[in-house]
Each structure stands twice: as structure tokens, then as C-alpha cells.
Structure 1
């Protein structure tokens, strides 16, 4: 091709650069064709097409040996960088598709942290997927569920029972016994044996800020009714630390998850309940149809830990 020829309007493709790179590195059309596993005439045709696109000769054909022209030498370095960048882009996209990179927004109720499930599950996932960014925020349960349904949150750690929005599912992670929290000066606080809930029929019961059919509000109602009375509902607390603080100052008693025993407040006592155990659940909430590969991997990881 004569030097100085104007480039054609043909489109440069990565295969052109791969073919050129093979010839430039082998400096032999036969070996380059064998390396690329294509016929030599086809390779020669592709190189001529690339030269038409560039508008300059890339190989000196006036000698017996294949030699790069100045244009070919300059293209060689750029071709290597372009192909390496293209391969890096493919690798990044494939990793994202497998959920190995990305970001997961996780919400949790404060009591989830006391169980150890949150830290162990998030920690083991992070070890398995170190390049996935985890954004973790304490959040009230209903806000978590609304945010998951609206694609503003990927994963939630919640305390059922609770009504799930359309498109949101839950995975049970843990069931733990419910304990009684009462002021340490209460007449029953020094009792060594488990406490019969019926003996507290005259007390005010403090619950989280939920409706009657949700989480520990419901546990409290059902446990009291099983003991033969309708509980007198007292003030509500934003979280369990607030609740046990209210108990400690004498505003009432409360049913709390056993894992809350790690929270020690002056003036507070924890005691087991007599009779059949009342169990509280910790669950993972997620979208039923999840578009994020990283979030899908988190749910799969949680299932594998059960």
C-alpha cells in the first residue's frame, strides 16, 4: 500500500489489533497464523484491512524478512495497551456479573448485633468477597423493609413476625429464647427459679415501637395470654437498650431476646421464664427478585451458614 494513503471509513475492531500483534511479535505470517489458528491468506487480508484503516503501511514488504515500519512500531505499543485494557474491562465485568465486586447496603435492628449473627455473617462474607463494599446502617425494622422494597437497601436483619412488603422475602437465621427484664429491686428479681409470667399480671409491659402484631409486641401479648391474662401495655422504647433502661428505672417490665444479656444496665435484672419457651426469631430480609449479583451472593452465603 503506498505511504500516505488516506484511511478508509472501515471500523477498527479488536481482532485487527490481535492479528497485528501476533504478526508484529512473530515477524512471520506463517507462525502468526498458526498462533492465531487461522489460515495465512486470511491473516494477510486482515493486516491489509488494518493498514487501510490506519492509512499507512505497518510492515515493510520490500525485504525478505517481515519488518515493522515506523507506523507499525508506534502502533505496537498502543495495541498492547488497548488489548490489555479491553481484557481488564472484560475481567471486571465478569467479576461484577459473578458478584465478586459491587456494593451491598445492609440494614439491621440493634438487637441483631447482640446475637453475634450479624457480625459473624457479615465478617465471613467479607472474607470470601473482599472487594465487595459493604454499607451497614442501624435502622428501624419497618424502615428496612420499606427501603428493601424500594431498592434503597439490599439486605435487612429483622425481628419477625412482621408483614413483608410485596416482593420482599425473609430467611430465618436464628431462634432464641425470650427472657424477662425487670428492675433488680423487684420482689421477683432475686428468685433463683424461673419466673411464672402470671405472677406479673399486674405489671406494665414495655415493648418496642411496633404494632400489636409485630415482633416483641406480639411476643408479649401472646406470652401473657398463654399465662392467662391480658397484659397492661406500658410505654414503648425505640430499641432494646432504651427499653431495658426504662425497666431499670422502674417504668415496667419487658420481654427481651436472650442475647440482650450482654447489655448490662445498673438496676436491671434478667430472669428466665417458666413454662414452654417463648422463642424470638432473627431473620434476613431481601428482595425475592434480586438484580444485584453481589446481594444474591450474600443471601446464598447466609443460607450456606445455616
Structure 2
């Protein structure tokens, strides 16, 4: 590359002195480099038989090709540099549906896209357990999840949102007339939870909150997401604890009420591999850490 750059400077200036000054090197050194290139190729690139420096036919051919080679080389080096700095590349993100209506997903993605417009982003709504399986298998780079949940080996998480837990109950329920509901008043109700194992996310939140109110909840149907859960509440199959942000989903026949007293908070977290090699993913993680919200 150095030989080509030196040769091209002389080819454009047609003067070794001016070319050396342009390159910031001594003229004897430039002449030596050009002669070395001619030795590599096996033919003269400049006609030195006259006072004026002229390109030979081989030199004219090489000059055109050298410009294309150097331009392509510069583009490749720039692309590699930008990839190494996390400015270009691919990012695969999974998220639980509730991450969208909390605003946390759109807020973080919006900031990242504004800062890194050339990164290709794939965003997929997935059940939490499917996300964790996908990140462990390197099919996802980042997950938006709702702890507590057991993480695969080599995966860690950090919170990006804390929000209150609300109660969703049928609009016709007597407690729906109150501004805030005592959880103990629902001791005889059936509680609808997400499709999680015991001790995970809102299944755990529901059990612990009810036990804190003095009773063990009677668990009933399960829903694949909180919109489904609210729909089950609307048809009278029970009540549920849900993220406060679900209130933006205005389903007919349900009422969202805060819990009276101390209440419970729910967490949204970003999960990622502990030893992440991709500069793009590391940049996203760093931005997400700086974007912690409060519901």
C-alpha cells in the first residue's frame, strides 16, 4: 500500500520534489520507494529520459488501478475501524411484550438508533424463557426480561425500570369503586398469573404480595402475556397483579387500581452475556445502563 501511495503521488504531480513535499518525506527516499516498486513489477513506471517526468504505458495503467485499489482499501479499513468501535454491525434483541408499553424499550432503542444509525437491529417479542434459551444459544444478543428468573450460565442482567404493581379486576367488582384496593379484600378471589414457573416474575410477585396481606392466593388460569391476563379478568375469571404501565392498554370491562399501603414494585431488566465480544452489543449495554427509568 505504501509503494502504491508513493507512486500515485508522483504520477499525479509528475515531479518527485513536489510529490515528496506532499507526502512529507525526503525526495531520495521517495525515489528509492518508486524504484523498489518498479523492481517488484519488473518494468519502468516513469520515463526519466527527459527533463519532465512522464508515465510509461505501464505507469498509466497502474495509476488508474492504484486509485481504485487505494480507495477500496480506505473504505475497507474505515468499515473495519467502525465495526471495531461498535458503529456498524448487527444487534438481535428479544423482549417481553410488557417492555413495549412501559416505554423502556422504545426509549433505549430510540437513543441507540440515533447514536448508531448504521447498526442493523432485529427486535422480536418473545416469552421470557424463550429469550433466555436464545441468548444462551447466541441467537439473541440482549433480552428485556422481568425478574426474578433463573439466568443461564454466563448470562447476567441489570435493572432498567422499577414500577409499581397494580391490581386489575372486573369493572363490576365491588372493590373497583375504590381509588385504591386492599389486597386482603381479595383473599377469596382467584388470581390469574403469567405462564411462569413458581418463583418466577409475576407468579412470585403475586404469591409474596398476597402472603404479605395475610393469605395464600388461590391461583387460577394463566395467560401468555399481561394483555391476555387482563382479558381473562374482563370475562370474570379472576383478578390479577400486573405492571402499572398496563393501564395504557384500555380494555373494556376492567379497572386498574393501585394497591393500598406499601404495595409491590416490579422490575424490568436487560440480560446479556457476561463476556460479550461484539463492540455493537457492548455499546448497547452501556447505553442501556445509563437509561434506567422509574415507572
Q: Which bracket does the TM-score occupy, shorter chain normalised?
A: over 0.9
SS in 1 for 2:38: helix
Instruction: Tell me whether 1:291 sits opposite 2:282 in the alignment.
Output: no
**For residues 154-169 of structure 1, what are the structure 2 equivalents within 5 Å?**
154-169=141-156
Quick one: which of 243, 262, 272 aligns to 2:229? 243
Q: 1:156 Cα deviation (Å)?
A: 0.8
Q: Tell me the residue number matched to 1:148.
A: 135
Q: Does 1:38 align with 2:25?
A: yes
Question: Match of 2:244?
Answer: 258
Is 1:215 aligned with 2:197? no
Deviation of the 1:74 alpha carbon: 1.6
Secondary structure of 1:99 counterpart: coil
Q: Does 2:42 match 1:81? A: no
TM-score, scaled relative to structure 1 = 0.92
Q: Distance in 1 between matches of 2:13 and 2:35?
A: 17
**TM-score normalised by structure 2 residue count:** 0.96
Pick one of 180, 191, 197 that aligns with 2:183.
197
Alignment of 1:174 with 2:161, yes or no, is yes
After TM superposition, give the deviation of residue 21 of structure 1 in Å. 0.8
Distance 2:249 2:15 in 1: 75
How far 1:69 moved relative to its partner? 1.2
Q: Secondary structure at the match of 1:189?
A: helix
Secondary structure at 2:131 match in 1: helix
5+ long unaligned stretches in structure 2:
none
**2:253 is aligned with 1:267:** yes
Of 92, 114, 117, 1:105 maps to 92
Aligned pairs for 1:124-143 within 5 A: 124-143=111-130
CA distance in structure 2 between the aligned counterparts of 1:43 and 1:214, rounded to whole angstroms? 70
Q: CA deviation at 1:303?
A: 1.7
1:114: which partner in 2? 101
What root-mean-square deviation, in Å, do the aligned CA atoms of Structure 1 and Structure 2 show?
1.2
